[in-house]
Chains A and B, each alone.
Chain A
Amino acid sequence: MSFDPAILARVQFAFTVSFHIIFPTISIGLAMFLAIVEGLWLKTRDPLYFQIYRFWLGIFAMAFGVGVVTGIVLSFEFGLGFAKFGQMAGPAIGPMIALEVLTSFFLEAGFLGIMLFGLNRVGPRLHFFATCMVALGTLFSASWILSANSWMQTPDGVAVQNGHLVVTDWLKVIVNPSWLYRLPHMLAAAYITGSFLVSGVGAWYLLRGEHIEFGKRTVSMGMGFATVLIALQVFLGDILYGTMLKYQPAKMQAAEGFWDKQSESPAPYYWIIVPDQKSQRNRFALGTPYLGSIWLTHSLHGRVEGLGNTPPDLQPQMGIVFYGFRIMYGIAILMFSLAVASLWLRWRGRLFSTRWFLRILVVMTPSGVLATLGGWYVAETGRQPWVIYNILRTADAVSPVPAGVLLSTLIAFVCVYALFMAAFLIFAGRMIKRGPKDAPAYAEASGSLKPALKPGMANGATRNAAVTE
């Protein structure tokens, strides 16, 4: 059996980075949620907020842990699988990732310990500060890494001198043409993910008639954030679409599923296609008539440009890009509808008692993660065959590592990561089933946890339970 090392290196990178992004998305979202909840607790002294904080802190800690260890893998993978990419892009993305480490990873790591274990030692105010620093760290991290990735999508500010890349203008490298549009889209994605996570769990409690106050407060907060953010996201997504259409037309052509240079008029909007890249056509396509013209050209009869405008050797795989986009877009439409419904129900005072709505929220718990993955597949597969757009081809970037070795390490990654995922899901599931523990009564009265958490007075909370809660 012979495998192409280039394909294996790509599959390995795709697998490890896809696995990683699940956890940052959750930790960026939850870190901000926790900071808001703790702020509200300090302001109102309402122990319910403290209860919510403690509950979500447990899940956050696990997601963060998995995010850290899978992220460390990625920072080496640029050189492990794609040595020539590292040599070429190092001068541009290396300094950005170095600054990411300095300004965000250390910030997160330094304050994480205090956030998770230090409340009793530093008191609520300083603890709130630590939570905010962790949330800020995740935000900085997303900014730098998106700047690095956006530079690969829309490189600017560099010149090639005898095979090596030289930065000519740092401002243009960092604030490259797509970063300013992609960063808010990614951040909103993470906050939306967090909102649906929190709402879904709250809705589950409401449906089961348990932890009612907790459920109501989290559903209310979660759907409140989600409503604002999804409206923003649709707007941001639309702008991003226009930007990428300008810089990487092939990506957006692939995302819409047409092959001919110009589609028929009026153009349908495809929902399902079976593309055949070799013969440059769809074997099967199902869509809504007229909708393509209306959405994509804002006219009844407009024609849409197809992937045929790009020479076949410069085309990305249509199938992955198309379905990545459909998943993201489909979920966005669903979320938007739910947001509208939630406004209506809230206005009628039935937000916490409408069972069909709560059931949909439960189903939607992981929806943000799926949409995020879909979006990243559009972004990353859609720029192929380039790893640095128009500068370096992916196939030319691969390390001199034999296929058999790549295959073995890929299998090792799959096994170990499957263990991580299983443990994460089992333990998070257990925490959710067990439900939030009552907040110590002292939290309300004094605003300080020191008396509440003194050994022997901690409301019977044992050490292990205390961390789990």
Chain B
Amino acid sequence: MDLPLLSALFAAFALLLYVVLDGFDLGVGALLLLPSDERVRDRMVDSVVPIWDGNETWLIMAGVTLLAAFPVAYGILLPAFYLPLIVMLLALGLRGVSFEFRMQTERMRRAWDIAFSLGSIVAALMQGLIVGGLIQGIAVDGEHFGGSVFDVFRPFCLLVSLAVLSGYVVLGAGWLHLKGTAALRAFAERILHTAVPAYLGLASVSTAAATLVQPQMLAAWSAHMTLLSAIALLFLLLAITLWRAIGGRSDGRPLFLGLALFVLGIAGLGVAVFPDIVPYRLSLWDAASSSQSQVFVLLGAAIVTPIVLSYSAFAYYVFRGKTPEQGWEI
């Protein structure tokens, strides 16, 4: 059996779940800056507070799978993205504690909300920078990172980071469209009307720019022309459907279409860089740890992941439906 491939699939699965799940709660966070009505902000936070921790745990899962199964890649990528990662971790930290601390104070709640929002925005931007950096390529020297930690701050990466942020905002607004009543739902609709075109535009420009900054991307397009074109076309179609679903009878449709957009985006990226784990430099197989370590992780994952997924789904189920106007009571 091809163990490194399976491990890579599991890492990609964890990353995908992270992006779509934490994507919407980061998006909600990013939007928290806008409403001036404190009750609306309370509802927004309430809608994600019972589940955000589980969402973020998928980030740890992805990172740790990399450590366990592809230690060489881990040791190259983390120093390469040292700055965006540290900033992202601090931003996620600020945002994470704001969940607890904003409830403790009436007077300073606005300040914590701002911290919450900036934390979400900065975390999203940093994740985008990292994706951009991966696409553009990083310098590798033997088994070590050979570039400068500042390499990642390049125009292309900044473009991708905006695309990711706008995508998260679409997801966040889609979530509020699902969970919000009256005022909150109206707010979500307004946001979606601007965020969807912005996301579509930024994603298309980034895709085009990628082929300019990285010749390998152009090569990937010519190698997988039909597949990548199909993904791009589907992306466009879904984005239009999403646009038309805003304010429609189905509360959930914008969110699910938004999630589908993300799945497509990641699939496209996967097709383009496969089978490299450090794009254009190191393939999965070259970075993999010995098979004993792979087996251990995969066996554990195969047994435990279904259980994790089922009780996580249960947690979502417990807090299903519209977020109550008076909040969750303990």
Interface residues of A (CB under 8 A from B): 54, 57, 61-62, 65-66, 68-70, 72-73, 75-76, 78-80, 83-84, 86-95, 97-99, 101-103, 105-114, 116-122, 161, 164, 166-168, 170, 399-402, 405, 409, 412-413, 416, 420, 423, 427, 430-431, 453, 455, 458, 461, 463-464, 466-469
Contact = CB atoms under 8 A, between A and B. Distances in A.
A119 B64 contact: no
B63 interface: yes
A455 B327 CA distance: 10
A221 B59 CA distance: 39
B329 A458 contact: yes
A109 B99 CA distance: 14
* Residue from A93, A105, A108, A166 having most chain B Cβ neighbours under 10 A: A105
Contacts of A54: 330
B299 to A, nearest CB: 9
Contact of A117 (B61, B76, B328): B328
Given A106-B57, A114-B50, A87 B143 contact: yes
Interface in B54-77: 54, 56-57, 59-61, 63-65, 67-72, 74-77
A112 B53 contact: yes
A65 B99 contact: yes
Contacts of A420: 93, 97
A409 B96 contact: no
Q: Tell me the dominant secondary structure on chain A's binding face.
A: helix
A167 B290 contact: yes
Interface string B94-130: 1011011101111000000000000000000000000
Give 4 closest A-B pairs by Cβ, nearest first. Answer: A90-B71, A94-B68, A113-B50, A79-B78
Interface string B39-52: 00010000001110
B264 interface: no
Contact of A65 (B83, B96, B311, B314): B96
Given A79-B75, A102-B300, A91 B68 contact: yes
A159 to B, nearest CB: 10
Contacts of B293: 90-92, 94-95, 167
B330 A86 contact: no
A468 B290 CA distance: 49
A111 B308 CA distance: 11
Interface of B: 42, 49-51, 53-54, 56-57, 59-61, 63-65, 67-72, 74-79, 82-83, 85-86, 89-90, 92-94, 96-97, 99-101, 103-106, 143-145, 149, 289-290, 292-293, 296-297, 300-301, 304-305, 308, 311-312, 314-315, 318-319, 326-330
Contacts of B79: 79-80, 83, 399-401
B61 to A, nearest CB: 5
Contact of A102 (B89, B101, B301, B314): B301
A110 B68 contact: no
Contacts of B103: 464, 467-468
A101 B60 contact: yes
A445 B25 CA distance: 39
29 contacts: A68-B96, A72-B59, A83-B75, A84-B144, A86-B74, A90-B293, A91-B68, A91-B289, A97-B68, A98-B65, A98-B300, A102-B301, A102-B305, A103-B304, A106-B54, A110-B308, A113-B49, A117-B328, A164-B289, A167-B290, A168-B292, A170-B292, A399-B82, A401-B79, A401-B149, A402-B149, A412-B90, A466-B327, A468-B104
* Residue from A103, A166, A420, A464 having most chain B Cβ neighbours under 10 A: A464
Given A83-B76, A83-B79, A120-B328, A110 B100 contact: no
Contacts of A168: 292
A453 B93 contact: no
* Residue from A79, A93, A122, A430 having most chain B Cβ neighbours under 10 A: A79
B82 A80 contact: yes
A214 B92 CA distance: 37
Given A94-B64, A117-B328, A401 B82 contact: yes
Contacts of B61: 98, 101-102
A94 to B, nearest CB: 3
Nearest to A122: B318
Contacts of A401: 79, 82, 149
Contacts of B76: 83
A430 B42 CA distance: 21
* Residue from A111, A170, A423 having most chain B Cβ neighbours under 10 A: A423
Contact of B78 (A72, A399, A430, A469): A399
Given A65-B100, A99-B300, A72 B92 contact: yes
Given A94-B67, A164-B290, A117 B330 contact: yes
B106 A464 contact: yes
Contacts of A105: 57, 60
A102 B103 CA distance: 30
Contact of A75 (B63, B82, B96): B63
A468 B60 CA distance: 29
A116 to B, nearest CB: 7
A114 B318 contact: yes
Given A66-B97, A113-B53, A427 B104 contact: yes
Contacts of A86: 67, 71, 74-75, 78
A420 B61 CA distance: 25
A54 B329 CA distance: 12
A67 to B, nearest CB: 10
A83 B79 CA distance: 7
Contacts of B50: 113-114, 116-118
Given A68-B53, A416-B93, A468-B103, A90 B319 contact: no
A113 B144 contact: no
Nearest to B77: A79
A61 B74 CA distance: 32
Contact of A78 (B67, B290, B305): B67
Given A76-B89, A112-B53, A467-B103, A405 B83 contact: yes
B90 A413 contact: yes
A166 B78 contact: no
A116 B57 CA distance: 18
